[in-house]
Chain A
Amino acid sequence: MNEKNERIVLDVAYQPQVRTTRDTKSLMLDVIIALLPAVVVAVWQFGTQPLLMVACSVAAAVFFEWGYRKLLHKDPSIGDLSAVVTGLLLGLSMPSTAQWWMPVVGAFFAIVVVKQLYGGIGKNFLNPALAGRAFLLSSYSLAMGQFAVPNSLKNIVDGVSMATPLSYLYGGGKMPAYFRLSSLFLGNTPGSLAEVSSLILLAGGVYLIARKVISWRIPVSFIGTVFVLTLIFGGGDMSNLDFALYNVCSGALILVAIFMATDYATSPVTKNGQLLYGFGCGAITVLIRYFGGFPEGTTYAVLIMNLCTWAIDKGFHRHQFGVSKEDIAAEKAAKKAAKEAAK
C-alpha cells in the first residue's frame, strides 16, 4: 500500500453516510422566527414592557437550562435553542401587566422541574412553557388575569386594565362594539402578549408548516374542533357563527394550537394520533370554556392531552407493510377456528 495512505485513519461509520442539513437547532430557529412578528405586535400594542418580559423569560430559561446541566455535569444543551423557544413562549403568554420576575419563576418550573428533571429535551411529558404558565396561573392568579388596555384602544376605553373578549363570551353581558371580529384578527384586543393578533400567529403557523417544522394535523384538528363545537352549541347574544369565530380568535387558542400543542416531545408522532390529540385538545378547551371555573381553557386542555400522548401513540400503531386487511382478517379467522377446534 501507498505509504501516505497507510497513515490515514479511516472512519468506518454506520449508514447512511449523508444526512439532511436540518438539525434540531435549525428547527428551533424556525420556531423563533415564526414567533418574532408576534413580539413586534406586542410592542406595538403594549409598549416596551413586553420586550423586558420576553427578555427576562428567555434569559431565565437559558440560564436554568445551562445551570442545571452544568451543576449535574451533563452535556451542555443550550445550543439546540429549545430553551430559547420555551422562554419565548412563556414570556409571550404573560399579560403585559405582569412583573418581570414572574416569567423567571415560571421558567424555573418549566425548565428545571418539567424538562430537565425528566432528562431534558425530548423526555419531558408536559409542554414546559405551558406547564410554567399553569404554575403561574395558580400561583399568581390575580396578576395573570389582569390585561392592560392595548394602545389602539386607549382612546376608547378608560382605565389601565380591561376585560378580554373571551370573558364576554361566557361571562354574559353584551360584547362591546370595539371588539369587532376584525379587531381580534388584526390585534386590537387585550390579552397575553402574543395572543392579540390572530393574523400574525396564523402567518407564523403557515411558515412552520411550509418549512415542515410541524404538520397541519394538530393545529387544524384543534382549532377545527373548537370551531365546530361552538358553532353547534352557540352562546352569548350573537349568531352561532359569530360565536364560533370569536371563540377561535380569543383566549390564546391559535397561539397554543400552533406553537404549544405541536411541541414534539409531548404530542403524538403518528398521523391519526395527531388528529385525535388535536380533537381532544379542542373538545377539552370547549368543555372548560362552557363549564370551567375560568373562561380560558387551552392551557389545561393541552396539558391534559399531553398526559394522553403515550397511550394515543400506542393505539395508532401503523399497519405493517405487505399485510393487507384481508391478511389480518384471515389470520383472525384462523385463530378463531383454532380456538373452536380446541374446544
Chain B
Amino acid sequence: MSQTFKGGVHPDYRKAPEIPVTVITPPAQVVIPMAQHIGAPCQPLVKKGDYVTMGQKIGENPAPVSAPVHASVSGKVVAVEPRPHPLGDMIMSIVIENDYQDTPCTDLAPLDEKQLKDPEAILERIREAGVVGMGGAMFPTAFKIRGGIGKVDKLVINGAECEPYLNGDHLTMLNFPEQLLKGIELVRIASGVEKAYYGIEVNKQDAIDLLNSLHPEKYGIEIVPEAVKYPQGGEKMQVKAVTGREVKPGGLPSGVGANVVSTRTCYAIYQACYEGKPVIERIVTVSGSALKGTVNALTRVGTPFEYLAEQCGGFVKTPRKIVLGGPMMGICATNFAAPTIKGTAGVLFFTEEEDRHVDNPTCIRCGKCIEVCPMNLEPVFMYMYYSKGDFANMEKYHINDCFECGSCAYNCPARMPLTHAFKTAKLMFQAKAAAEKAKEAKK
C-alpha cells in the first residue's frame, strides 16, 4: 500500500519522463551568480581576465550556512559584476567566456575507499562540491546533515517529484539507479543512521521496480511507495508519509528525528564523492505552451533562459511568464538573460493558455481550500483576516504554518490569490518581529 498525508490536490501532471535527456551545448558565455543557496553569498575568487577550468571553485564564503560555486565551463573570465539573478534583483556574478574545451579541474579527486566510509570526509566533500538542496530550496546540504547528526533517526530521501512537468528526479532514477543508491548510502553514512527511507510516488513505478531490483537493502535503503498527490514532496508531507511523524509548528524535520534530502541532491553527492565532480550541471525540464514540447535538458549552471529556449526549439508563441521550478511553487523570473542555477529543476515558458487569472476574484466560501490544505489550515478565514489586517486572528489561525504549497489557491474555484496573500502575511509577521527586536535592543 502506498503511504501519504491528508489533503492535497491532483493537478494536471504533464510529465514526460519518456523523453530522453538532451545534452544542451553550453552557451558562449555562462553567468554564474554568487548566490545559489540560502545563506551567506559567496565572494568571487577570480577576477576579470583570469583563465578558469571546468569545475574550478570561483566563489566561496567561510560562513557555515553557505556553499561554494564552481565554473561550469572552462575559459576566460570576462566580467565580475552584478547581473540579473533568476529570483530577481542584480547579484554579483562571474561571466565566463566558453573556450569549448571543457578542460577539467583536478582540485577535487574522487574519495578513496576509506574516505567513502568516513562521515567527516563525506561532509567536507559535500560542502566543497557546493551541494545544496536541489529540489529547489537550495539549503546547503552539508549544514543540513550536520545539524541532524545525533538527532535524526529516520533519514528520508525525497523521490516524490510531485510538481507537474518536472522529470529530472525520475530520469535520474532510471538512468543512474546504482549511482543514486550509492549517493543515498553516502548521505546515510554522513548522517550516522542505519537506514534511509526512499519515498517515491507510484507514478514512477518503473523506477521503483528498477531500484528494488538492485537490492537497495545492501545500501541500507528501503523504498517506500507513496500515493500520487501534490504536495507529497513537501518536506513535512514526506516525513508524515514515511514516518507518521508531524513536524512541530515552526520547527525543522530534525526536531522530530527526521531529515529530508532530495533525489537530485543525493546524485550530486555521488558525483562529488565518487567522481570528484562539483555541482555544475543538472537536468532542467524545459516546457510550457510557448515551446513546441517538453525537453529534459541536461544544462550547465549559468545558462541564460533565452539561450536555453533557443536550444529547446525556440518559441512558437510569445511567452508571458518564465516559471522557475514546477508550476505549483515555482516563482516567476523577470529577465530572459537570467541564468539557470543549482536549484533550477524546471524552466517553464507559459503563455495565456496556462493562465486562469480573473480580474476581481470573489470568495464564494465553498471551503474547497480547507479540504486540500495539507497543514490542516483554514485558508478561507486566514484570507479574510489578512484582508482586514487582523494580525491577532491570523496568528490564531496559524498563518505562519503555511509553507506556500499553493494547493488552496490551485483548488479555489473563485481564483482567490490565497497563497500570495499568506506569503505576504508571513513577510509582514517577520518584519513585525524584526521591528520589535530592534526596539528591544534599543532599550
Q: Does B331 sit at the interface, judged by CB under 8 A?
A: yes
Question: Judging by beta carbons under 8 Å apart, are A318 and B329 in contact?
Answer: no
- For chain A, the count of residues having a C-beta within 8 Å of the partner chain is 42
Known: A11-B321, A17-B332, A18-B12. 4 other contacts (CB 8 A): A24-B362, A77-B362, A264-B367, A321-B236
Question: Judging by beta carbons under 8 Å apart, are A15 and B401 in contact?
Answer: no
A-B contact pairs, 21 of them (CB 8 A): A2-B306, A8-B319, A12-B321, A18-B354, A22-B413, A23-B414, A24-B413, A24-B414, A26-B413, A121-B364, A122-B364, A264-B365, A265-B364, A268-B367, A269-B367, A318-B377, A318-B378, A319-B376, A320-B401, A322-B246, A323-B246
Residues from chain B with a CB closer than 8 A to the CB of A138 are none
Question: Judging by beta carbons under 8 Å apart, are B328 and A18 in contact?
Answer: yes
A-B pairs under 8 A by CB, number: 157
B-contacting residues, A1-30, CB 8 Å: 1-2, 5-6, 8, 10-24, 26-27
CB-nearest residue of chain A relative to B322?
A10
The majority secondary structure among interface residues of chain A is loop
Q: Does B164 sit at the interface, judged by CB under 8 A?
A: yes
CA distance A18 to B329 in the complex (A): 10
CA distance A10 to B247 in the complex (A): 37
CB-nearest residue of chain A relative to B397?
A317
Whole-angstrom distance between the Cβ of B233 and the nearest chain A Cβ: 14
Q: Does B302 sit at the interface, judged by CB under 8 A?
A: no
Residues of A within 8 A of B (CB): 1-2, 5-6, 8, 10-24, 26-27, 75, 77, 82, 120-122, 264-265, 268-270, 313, 317-324
Q: Does B105 sit at the interface, judged by CB under 8 A?
A: no
Whole-angstrom distance between the Cβ of B204 and the nearest chain A Cβ: 21
Whole-angstrom distance between the Cβ of B374 and the nearest chain A Cβ: 8
CA distance A17 to B377 in the complex (A): 21
Q: Does B380 sit at the interface, judged by CB under 8 A?
A: yes
Residues of B within 8 A of A (CB): 9, 11-12, 164, 236, 246-249, 251, 306, 318-323, 327-337, 348, 350, 354-360, 362-367, 370, 374-378, 380-381, 397-398, 401, 404, 406, 409-415, 417, 419-420, 423
Residues from chain A with a CB closer than 8 A to the CB of B401 are 320-322
Most B CB contacts (10 A, CB to CB) among A17, A19, A269 go to A17
Residues from chain B with a CB closer than 8 A to the CB of A14 are 417, 419-420, 423
CA distance A10 to B348 in the complex (A): 13
Residues from chain A with a CB closer than 8 A to the CB of B406 are 15-16
Question: Judging by beta carbons under 8 Å apart, are B246 and A318 in contact?
Answer: no
Whole-angstrom distance between the Cβ of A85 and the nearest chain B Cβ: 11
The majority secondary structure among interface residues of chain B is loop
CA distance A322 to B380 in the complex (A): 21
Residues from chain A with a CB closer than 8 A to the CB of B378 are 269-270, 317-318
* B327, B366, B417: the one within 8 Å of A18 (CB): B327
Whole-angstrom distance between the Cβ of A326 and the nearest chain B Cβ: 12
Question: Judging by beta carbons under 8 Å apart, are A264 and B12 in contact?
Answer: no
Residues from chain B with a CB closer than 8 A to the CB of A270 are 367, 370, 378
Question: Judging by beta carbons under 8 Å apart, are A264 and B364 in contact?
Answer: yes
Whole-angstrom distance between the Cβ of B419 and the nearest chain A Cβ: 5
Residues from chain B with a CB closer than 8 A to the CB of A16 are 327-329, 406, 409-410, 419
CA distance A20 to B419 in the complex (A): 15
Question: Judging by beta carbons under 8 Å apart, are A11 and B329 in contact?
Answer: no
Residues from chain A with a CB closer than 8 A to the CB of B337 are 1
CA distance A82 to B413 in the complex (A): 13
With A265-B364, A321-B246 as known contacts, state yes or no: A15 contacts B356, CB within 8 Å: no
Whole-angstrom distance between the Cβ of B427 and the nearest chain A Cβ: 13
Residues from chain B with a CB closer than 8 A to the CB of A317 are 378, 397
Residues from chain A with a CB closer than 8 A to the CB of B327 are 16-18
Question: Judging by beta carbons under 8 Å apart, are B419 and A15 in contact?
Answer: yes
Residues from chain B with a CB closer than 8 A to the CB of A10 are 319-322, 332-336
Whole-angstrom distance between the Cβ of A209 and the nearest chain B Cβ: 13
Question: Judging by beta carbons under 8 Å apart, are A23 and B417 in contact?
Answer: no
Residues from chain B with a CB closer than 8 A to the CB of A322 are 236, 246-249, 251, 401
Question: Judging by beta carbons under 8 Å apart, are B362 and A121 in contact?
Answer: yes
Whole-angstrom distance between the Cβ of B178 and the nearest chain A Cβ: 35
Whole-angstrom distance between the Cβ of A142 and the nearest chain B Cβ: 36
Question: Judging by beta carbons under 8 Å apart, are B332 and A13 in contact?
Answer: yes
* A12, A17, A24, A269: the one within 8 Å of B380 (CB): A269
CA distance A319 to B306 in the complex (A): 47
Residues from chain A with a CB closer than 8 A to the CB of B362 are 24, 77, 120-122
